[in-house]
Amino acid sequence: MEASTLPPPVQARAGLGLRIKRRMPKIASIALISLLALILFGPVLLLALFSFNDSSIISLPWEGFTTKWYDAAFDEQAVRDSVFNSLVVASVVTVISVVLGTLASWGLTRLQFAGRGSIGALHGSVLVVPWLIIGVAGLIFFSELDVSLSLETIALMHVVVTFPLVVAIVSAGLIRFQRSLEEAAVDLGASQMQMLRYVVIPQIAPSLAAAGIFAFAWSFNNFEISFFVGGFDETFPVWVFSILRQSENLPLVNAVSTMIAAAQVLAVFGAWALMKRLTRDRGGDDALTDILTGSAR
């Protein structure tokens, strides 16, 4: 029996079933993304929720709404010092790792030399070594050299684990980049610096931004290495570990962690918006056009 000869109710049910089948992939995708978002961000949302609870115990029902934990966080000198230390270390580590990682990525993807594969594998191997082992190794290393533990030793060890990550991210961007644009720019008179500045860097800018964000986050949130090689200088994760030994300090940690998480989210979205604007305003094709027409100096 043809569909046109079916009674109207049967045709309606058949049409509804067809529409549901067509929308099932979209519905499944939305459900999967929602589940992953709940797993990833659910604990952070609960942390932020209970940071406003007028109780030192994380439990329901609420004792009442309050912002006293945020006032206490701003008044705590140890909080300000630890956050400042983490910001300084993470900023230094990010700059060093991005610069050195970009140079190493250029060498690994553009130069041909003996042992290139082994060096690339060596960079990658650092990413799979647990931070606990690296922290203990760093402690033994500095002890043997009789080096005092401080923020400098923390930054040095953070570079050790962050630099390979930058190499991996930037190398992926360079591999996807069309080398024909580099060759065209050089053939038409661009110097190596002009080629890097106006052709390569705009094209791999998203990779550089991603590497910078990950480098900063890895260094700022690192606990294992900072705990072993920091000495008496505390970063934010080490301060959290030390203060959580007393349960009544949990709301204070919730308040500080909520502010840190919010700042990191805003920084990521700000960097993403900036990169979109820069990519839209000045892409690699426009830069290459400037070089070809002689306007790039």
**149 and 42 together in one domain:** no
Q: Pick the residue with more confidence: 283 or 155? A: 155
- Give me the pLDDT at residue 229, please: 92
Task: Check which CATH number belongs to the domain holding 117 and give it.
Answer: 1.10.3720.10
Q: Check whether residue 42 and residue 150 sit in a common domain.
A: no
Query: Which one has a higher pLDDT value, 295 or 150?
Result: 150
* 116 and 174 in a common domain: yes
**pTM of the predicted model, to two decimals?**
0.75
Say if 56 falls within a structural domain: no
What's the number of domains the chain is made of? 2
Q: Is residue 62 part of a domain?
A: no
Identify whether residues 151 and 178 lie together within a single domain.
Answer: yes
29 & 139 share domain: no
- Average pLDDT (35-61) is 77
180-184's contacts with Cβ under 8 Å and 24+ in sequence apart are: 181/284, 181/288, 184/288, 184/292
166 Cβ contact partners less than 8 Å away, ≥ 6 residues apart:
97, 98, 100, 101, 102, 105, 211, 214, 215
Shared domain for 92 and 184, answered yes or no, is: yes
Do residue 207 and residue 266 come from a single domain? yes
Highest mean pLDDT among 4-8, 162-166, 196-200: 162-166
- For position 297, what pLDDT does the model report? 42
- Identify the DSSP state of 197: I
In this model, does residue 1 exceed pLDDT 60? no
pLDDT > 50? residue 139: yes
